[in-house]
């Protein structure tokens, strides 16, 4: 398996202030530009494992506003466990093509589009992706990988999700769902949702953040947005929220149709995604569920106390499944 054998355009890796990649990834990780079925350009990471006999491939889907570089530490953790990692900046984020003329606006027509992009990129890189394939996603990405599996776009051997969006605080009411859907259909789909803190795509202060209790990891994540304007994504549009609510409803309705082993882990102190929605989905899908008390939303960026527990859960699940 060699990077130089892949027929894709090489893409840039963002390194604010010359920040180095985790040791070893400099030679084992490379980014490319590939295209979705509709021609949109997507930036893709392929990271190779330390071993010459890979355990398989992690197909990783990030959350809203996120980008490849946010996950360097986790990519290193996964490749050190013997996995290849395939990840892309979702359309409208990172260095993938933006969808609207206002490049800060967070918009998608349907989460099926995200799911189809993941399936398309997986197919294009298939020759470099040893099996078994394990779909993994955080937050929005968790919803996307579940949507992709349930819709038949993707057929992995297992799925692992961190705080998947299956129930959002403040938005999961009949009135809010109806209002947002109606306003989106009435022509506001590409308009920003009001009263959001992330208007200009810049991160809030650490003290006001809802993502992690780890100050250093938050500082590193924030530095990308602060120093590289091209990475910034603003608040969600009515269209994005409407698509998210629709996908969450689809995934929850079809939980019992999930036919692959799964592990979904909730953050016990998550102020964004309701942990009870994750537990309910796991129960209906008959897959593994766990929770990390005290952790905020971003389990991959949390303090070592929480993050180590999370990776132990992943390791135990993979061992249980023989993966």
101 CB neighbour count, 10 Å cutoff: 7
Return the CATH number at 49: 3.40.50.1820
Q: What is the dihedral of CA 309, 314, 317, 321, to 10 degrees?
A: -160
User: What would the pLDDT profile of 116-132 be if each residue is shown by its tens digit?
Assistant: 999 999 999 999 999 99
User: What would the pLDDT profile of 115-173 be if each residue is shown by its tens digit?
Assistant: 999 999 999 999 999 999 999 999 999 999 999 999 999 999 999 999 999 998 866 55
pTM over 0.75: yes
The DSSP symbol for 188 reads I
- What total of structural domains would you count in the chain? 1
The range of the structural domain enclosing residue 117 comes to 3-321
Look at residue 248 and tell me whether its pLDDT is greater than 70.
yes
- Report angle CA 181, 238, 62 to the nearest 5 degrees: 110
Burial class from Cβ neighbours inside 10 Å (0-12, 13-18, 19+) for residue 195 reads exposed
* Main-chain dihedrals φ then ψ at residue 81, nearest 5 degrees: -85, 0
Only one residue has tokens 């990308």, namely: 224
309 CB neighbour count, 10 Å cutoff: 19
Provide the pairing of β-strand 41-47 with 29-35. antiparallel
User: Residue 85 CA to chain centroid, in angstroms?
Assistant: 13
User: What would the pLDDT profile of 15-36 be if each residue is shown by its tens digit?
Assistant: 988 889 999 999 999 999 999 9
């Amino acid at each position: 398996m060699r990077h130089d054998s892949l027929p894709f355009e090489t893409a840039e890796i963002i390194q604010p202030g010359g920040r180095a990649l985790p040791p070893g990834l400099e030679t084992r990780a490379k980014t490319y530009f590939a295209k979705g079925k509709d021609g949109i350009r997507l930036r893709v990471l392929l990271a190779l494992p330390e071993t010459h006999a890979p355990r398989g491939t992690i197909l990783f889907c990030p959350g809203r506003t996120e980008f490849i570089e946010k996950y360097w530490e986790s990519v290193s953790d996964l490749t050190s466990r013997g996995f290849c990692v395939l990840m892309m900046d979702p359309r409208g984020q990172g260095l993938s093509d933006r969808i609207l003329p206002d490049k800060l606006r967070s918009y998608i027509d349907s989460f099926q589009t995200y799911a189809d992009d993941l399936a398309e990129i997986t197919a294009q890189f298939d020759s470099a992706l040893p099996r078994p394939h394990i779909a993994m996603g955080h937050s929005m990405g968790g919803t996307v990988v579940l949507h992709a599996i349930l819709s038949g776009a993707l057929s992995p051997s297992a799925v692992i999700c961190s705080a998947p969006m299956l129930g959002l605080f403040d938005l999961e009411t009949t009135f809010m769902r109806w209002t947002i859907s109606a306003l989106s259909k009435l022509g506001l789909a590409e308009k920003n949702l009001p009263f959001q803190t992330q208007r200009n795509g810049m991160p809030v202060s650490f003290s006001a953040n809802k993502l992690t209790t780890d100050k250093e990891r938050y500082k590193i994540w924030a530095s990308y947005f602060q120093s590289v304007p091209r990475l910034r994504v603003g608040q969600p549009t009515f269209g994005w929220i409407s698509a998210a609510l629709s996908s969450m409803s689809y995934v929850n309705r079809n939980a019992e149709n999930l036919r692959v082993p799964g592990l979904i882990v909730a953050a016990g102190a998550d102020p964004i995604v309701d942990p009870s929605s994750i537990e309910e989905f796991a129960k209906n899908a008959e897959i593994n569920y766990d929770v990390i008390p005290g952790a905020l939303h971003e389990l991959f960026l949390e303090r070592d106390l929480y993050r180590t527990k999370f990776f132990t859960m992943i390791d135990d699940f993979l061992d249980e499944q023989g993966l």
